Structure 1
Amino acid sequence: MASLNVCSVLVVLFLTCGAVMATEENDQIIKENNCETRMGLPCVLEAFMSIFRIGSIFSKCCGELVVLGKVCHSALVKRTLENPQFKDQNPTTIIAKSIQTWNNCLALIDSPSPST
């Protein structure tokens, strides 16, 4: 019985350390790349809504997202998922929406604009 308790404590410690390391890694990426200052607030909100709620991200904000870069985009989404306010969000769904948003923005930015 004591070994079961010790095992349980070790598993909890391992999982906690993994979560803390992931948080620290995302924070380090965000800090080193100045991720939080590279998009305007309106575009941050637009991107957030397209990933965490219901909404679309349009051309101007897609441009800002692509300039932000995939590393920053991924780190910011992962850090947001670590916030207790988003504990009810399904991480698999959010990551899929994040990738979809990124890919849609790349396609939008890479496609030639219609001629006038």
Structure 2
Amino acid sequence: MATKENDHIIKENNCETKMGLPCVLKAFTSNFKKGGISKKCCREFVVVGKVCHSAFVKRTLENPLFKYLNPATIIAKSIQTWNNCLALIESPSPSA
């Protein structure tokens, strides 16, 4: 049932069209594995929005392929990735 809710949120908000595939992969790696995310991808990631981000994370956690993951750990990592991206895009670029 929850999967249908997340699918509805994703479709209703056009979540799948807001981010390019290279950045989707970086965000996925940052949320579900180990790895960072570039400032460019953070910009795209934040444009997707927190509602879409949460729906993607929840839908992925419901997928049987990812049943070995600890949901609490993944949710904490996804919040950390979101906050890191907000901080990164809000920080001024160093001047040359």
TM-superposed CA distance for 1:24, in Å, is: 1.4
Structure 2's unaligned 5+ residue stretches are: none
Who is 1:10 aligned against?
A: none
**Structure 1 moving runs of 4+ over 4 Å:** none
Q: Distance in 2 between matches of 1:90 and 1:36?
A: 25
* Higher normalized contact order (CA 8 Å, seq sep 6+, divided by chain length): 2
Q: Is 1:64 the equivalent of 2:17?
A: no
Q: Which has the larger radius of gyration?
A: 1
Per-residue Cα deviation, 1:46-77 (whole angstroms, up to 9, x for no partner): 00001111111110000000011000001001
1:17 aligned partner? none
Query: Structure 1 residue 36 and structure 2 residue 20: aligned?
Result: no
Aligned residue identity for 1:69: G
Distance (whole Å) between structure 1 residues aligned to residue 58 and residue 42 of structure 2: 19
Compute the TM-score of the two structures, normalised by the length of structure 2. Answer: 0.97
Identical pairs, percent: 77
Taking structure 1 as the reference length, what is the TM-score of the superposition?
Answer: 0.81
Partner of 2:92: 112
Match of 1:53 among 30, 33, 41: 33
